[in-house]
Structure 1
Amino acid sequence: MTRRLLILAAAGGSFALLAGAFAFQYLGGLPPCPLCLWQRWPHAAAILIGGLALFLPGRVLPLLGAGAALCTAAIGAYHSGVERGWWEGPTTCTSGGVSGLSPEQLMEQIMAAPLVRCDEVPWEFLGLSMASWNAIASLGFALLWIAAARSRT
Structure 2
Amino acid sequence: MPHASMRAMLDRLPSIAIPWILLAVSAATIGGALFFEHVLGYVPCSLCLDGRQPHYFAMAAALIAGILSREANIGIGALIFLGLCVFAYLTGAGISFYHLGVEYHWWEGPETCGGGNLVANSLEDLQAALQGGAKAPRCDEAAWTLFGISLAGFNFVITLALAALSALPLLRYFRESRGEA
Please tell me the TM-score bracket, short chain as reference: 0.7 to 0.9
Superposed CA deviations along residues 84-143 of structure 1, whole A, max 9, x for unmatched, are 11100000017xxxxxxxxxxxxxxxx7x9521101110001111000110011100001
Larger Rg: 2
Q: 1:6, CA displacement in angstroms? A: 1.4
Residue of structure 1 equivalent to 2:27: 15
Name the aligned partner's letter for residue 147 of structure 1. L
Identity %: 35
3-state SS, counterpart of residue 54 of structure 2: helix
Higher relative contact order (CA 8 A, sep 6+): 1
Alpha-carbon separation, structure 2, partners of 1:114 and 1:35: 15
**How many residues were matched structurally?**
135
Task: Name the SS for the 2:106 alignment partner.
Answer: coil
Q: In the alignment, what sits opposite 1:63? A: 83
CA contact (8 A) 1:46 1:69 kept: yes
TM-score (norm 2): 0.70
Superposition map of 1:3-152 within 5 A: 3-56=15-68, 57-58=75-76, 59-93=79-113, 114-151=135-172
Q: Displacement of 1:2 after TM fit?
A: 1.1
| Letter of the structure 2 residue corresponding to residue 85 of structure 1 | H
Spell out structure 1 runs of 4+ moving beyond 3 A.
none
Normalised TM-score (structure 1): 0.83
Kept in 2, the 8 Å contact 1:3–1:149? The answer is: no
Q: Which runs of 5+ in 1 are unaligned?
A: 95-110
Backbone CA RMSD of aligned residues:
1.6
Deviations 1:39-58 (A, max 9, x none): 11100011100110012232
Counterpart Cα distance in 1 of 2:169 and 2:23:
11
